[in-house]
Amino acid sequence: MKLRDFQEAVRRLHCIDMNDLINAGAFIFLEDQTAWARFRRNPADFLIRADDKTGEALWIAITANRPFRGEVIG
């Protein structure tokens, strides 16, 4: 991953909405509205502190059908 890819991932993290997370399998947000509030307050901190399942769902939402420039060949 290159710097531009990392910056883009952080931008995407801050633009995720609840439906993106639910579609990615982060059902914690359906079960716990305080989790959604914590995520919106500080998405990067939430990701760092997330359990593996929630972190994976966040990554799925960040990368859903959108490769980063560094991953595109050609």
Res 49: pLDDT: 93
65 conformational bin, left if phi > 0, alpha if psi -120 to 50, beta if neither: left
- Token readout for 7 is 């910056």
The DSSP code sequence of 1-40 is --HHHHHHHHHHHHH--HHHHHHTT-THHHH-HHHHHHHH
Residue pair 5/68 in contact (Cβ under 8 Å)? The answer is: yes
Res 33: pLDDT: 78
pTM for the model stands at: 0.75
User: pLDDT tens string for the chain (74 positions)?
Assistant: 788 888 888 999 998 888 888 888 776 766 777 888 889 999 999 999 999 988 998 988 888 867 666 665 55
Res 69: pLDDT: 66
Q: In angstroms, rounded to a whole number, what is the distance separating the alpha carbons of residues 74 and 57?
A: 29
